[in-house]
Structure 1
Amino acid sequence: MTLAGISQRQRISLSYLEQLFGKLRRHEIVESVRGPGGGYNLARRAQDVTVADIIIAVDEPLDATQCGGKGTCEGSKQPDGHCMTHELWSTLNQKMVEYLDSVSLQDLVDQQRAREGTPAVLRDKRKPEPVAASVEPVRSIPLGPNSVFNIASS
């Protein structure tokens, strides 16, 4: 896939995508393909890349604490220097990371496919066959007495 295509489809700045994909490439989540028809491919199988891997790669912090995990909480402080709800938010952070580490890109594709009712086709440019076959939705064909489709079936 090309960044320009993603940029247009998702309405995200191309320069921002270039920064993100540079980080993803350095963390070996995607690999770049140069030349005509180039772009980016997953460097690993979709089932081997988790949402947590991506968030960590692009340096997005997963921290719900008021202090950003630094222990410089404001407000009513406990003897350990943290605010009263610090442990609550720290535990939430831990649970978020655990959950996101359990969700793979393949899981997201499968969820989207189930929502749409039509299987997505995943293509790995290194392999000629699709990872998942695409099933065309059944189209309704009018079968009224004057329908050309009705004539063809007689």
Structure 2
Amino acid sequence: MKLSTKGRYGVRAMFDLALHQGDGPTPLRSIAERQNISEHYLEQLIANLRKEGLVNSVRGAHGGYLLSKLPAEITIGDIIKVLEGPIAPVDCVSDKVEEGKCENITDCVVRMIWERMKDSIDEVLDEITLEDLRQEAINAKQNGSQHGYMYHI
């Protein structure tokens, strides 16, 4: 299972907003430059995040984007699920499983593997918040990390 650039770049953009929270609205151009992401592509990702209520937009000369909640209230799972959809290694354990899609769903022994795998992934993604990442970056910078922070996912 592999995340697409939507999920990876979306987490990086949201992390960037969390790092600059309190500085006022952040223009997309600034995020795109700092994170080395195409501004056009970032617009598409932020539009989905805004539609789902994870970011707010501010119009005008000093406009940009802000997190809609505190970084401690936004999990990585929230971001990934908006941009990637349900995280499941196979369709039969997806949150949006279609009835009748698999005739063996009730008797499938290996489904247990896929369920446990999905549950483990969900647990990790849902327990890590943007605040956790922000604190990790601050700690790395204070401990003399040469680059300040690493955020490649």
Mapping 1:1-154, distance limit 5 Å:
1-65=26-90, 69=94, 80=106, 82=108, 85-117=110-142
Residue segments in structure 1 that go unaligned for 5+ positions in a row: 119-154
For the aligned residue pairs, the C-alpha RMSD in angstroms reads 2.8
SS for the counterpart of 1:109 is helix
Correspondence for 1:152: none
TM norm structure 1: 0.62
Q: Do the aligned residues in 1 keep the contact of 2:50 with 2:57 (CA within 8 Å)?
A: yes
Q: Whose helix fraction is larger, Structure 1's or Structure 2's?
A: 2
TM norm structure 2: 0.62
Identical aligned residues as a percent: 33
SS for the counterpart of 1:58 is helix
Q: Which amino acid aligns with 2:27?
A: T
Larger radius of gyration: 1
Equivalent residues, number: 115
Which stretches of structure 1, 4 residues or longer, exceed 6 Å deviation after superposition? none
Residue segments in structure 2 that go unaligned for 5+ positions in a row: 1-25, 144-153
Q: Do the aligned residues in 2 keep the contact of 1:72 with 1:81 (CA within 8 Å)?
A: no
Name the structure, 1 or 2, with higher relative contact order (CA <8 Å, separation 6+): 2
